Amino acid sequence: MNLKTMTAVALIATASGAIAEGTVTAGALKIGTDLTYPPYNYFDDQNAPAGFDVELMTALAEKAGLSAEFLDTRFENLILGVNGGQFDVIASTLYVKPERAERIDYIPYMKTGVSIAVAETSGKSFATPNDLCGATVASIKGAAWLEDFAKLNEGLCNGNPIDSREFPTSPEATQALLSGGVDAQVEDSAVLGSAAAKLNGRLMISSTEQFYPVIVGLGVQKGNEALAAEIREALAELEADGTYPALLAKYNVAKPSDEEFRAALGQ
């Protein structure tokens, strides 16, 4: 069975325990995720959902006594989907942004950063965002750093702006880079690292350190506190039993502090 053709994928049998309030389907946790974003969310060689978010949410659903069902949804449609009742929670490397917090309630769970990549054959190299003035840059649609690029274009890059090109998925942005359609790709550091490893040197990370550190959160429909509270409780249990810290270490990301979360919200 090709799971890519399925709308929802059940990964675990319903475990014994409390049934979460506020879910679309009793006994199930329906999870919206863009499965084109390795190493966080993607289809593995057996066409099964895999990655950090998938592993975390499968364990979290089990703690809550629920089955986990992943719905492959393009990134720009995730907030529309959770607010439209298509699924219960977003788990898709969703950066915390104040304007998004007006539409959904966040549960922070990860901290990461972004890097710059170039095609090996291009001869180009960009160490920092400041070096991107005048360059054509590919990003996934709706990326948080696009606001930072806009600020650069108003300041340092004024008169020689960054030409931002948005793509529905990160692999499409990478393909544009490899085909010479853009000069650089800016993306989550772990995502670029995964792509570089798979492309055997065709993609090179030219930045020397992470920049634009970001906080990542799960997202639920605004006001669905019953579900949000149960997710927080299950996440705390996963931290206590070591599952959550082990996943953070496996994917080379970190747990955000409350202060970092509040700063991301603009508080």
> What are the pLDDT digits (tens) for 203-253?
999 998 889 988 999 999 999 999 999 999 999 999 999 999 999 988 878
- Phi first, then psi, for residue 79 (nearest 5°) are -65, -40
Structure confidence at residue 2 (pLDDT): 40
Percent over 90 (pLDDT), the chain: 81
Domains 3-111+214-264 and 113-212 share a fold: yes
55: which residues sit within 8 A by CB, 6+ positions away? 247
d(CA 133, CA 205): 18
* Residue predicted with more confidence, 21 or 214: 214
Residue 252: HSE in the Cβ half-sphere, 13 Å Cα cutoff: 10
Burial class (CB in 10 A: 0-12, 13-18, 19+), 187: buried
Ordered by start, the domain boundaries in the chain are: 3-111+214-264, 113-212
Residue 148 carries which side chain, given as an amino acid letter?
Answer: D
* Residue predicted with more confidence, 31 or 1: 31
Its CATH class, for the domain covering 3-111+214-264, is alpha beta
Residue 214 carries which side chain, given as an amino acid letter?
Answer: V
d(CA 267, CA 261): 9
d(CA 248, CA 245): 5
CATH superfamily label, 113-212: Periplasmic binding protein-like II (3.40.190.10)
